[in-house]
Amino acid sequence: MGFGLDSGISRETSNVVQTAQKHDQVGSITEMKTFGGLETKTEEMFSTSFTNAATNGQTASPGTPATTEHSLIEQAEDYARERKVQVTPLAAPA
């Protein structure tokens, strides 16, 4: 597949963290710390067969994702596609 993808139609990667904020007496932020970081990868690919990967009982850890969404997209006059979303927790800083 073109555009640097080894398989599939599209790929998106995003990272997000939660924040904890410390405020002074007038409500100005004096310090902010981040925690609970997650990396989310969304891939869309052509499909010839579909087996749901978004199942209960998955365990995710840094380096090991959990599939949180897996869809089969079928439209008239187009090939069947799959859309898969995987979430991986980020490792805590050392």
Question: pLDDT for 3-60, tens place per residue?
Answer: 455 567 899 999 999 999 999 999 999 999 999 999 999 999 998 889 999 999 999 9
Tell me, yes or no, whether 2 lies in a domain: no
Tell me, yes or no, whether 82 lies in a domain: yes
pLDDT tens-digit map of 11-27: 999 999 999 999 999 99
* One-letter amino acid for residue 34 of the chain: T
Tell me, yes or no, whether 94 lies in a domain: no
Give the residue numbers spanning the domain of 79: 10-89
The pLDDT of residue 7 is 61
pLDDT at 2 > cutoff 90: no
Its pTM stands at 0.77
Tell me, yes or no, whether 55 lies in a domain: yes
Judge contact between 35 and 17, C-beta under 8 A.
yes
- First-to-last alpha carbon distance for the chain, in angstroms, is 38
Tell me, yes or no, whether 17 lies in a domain: yes
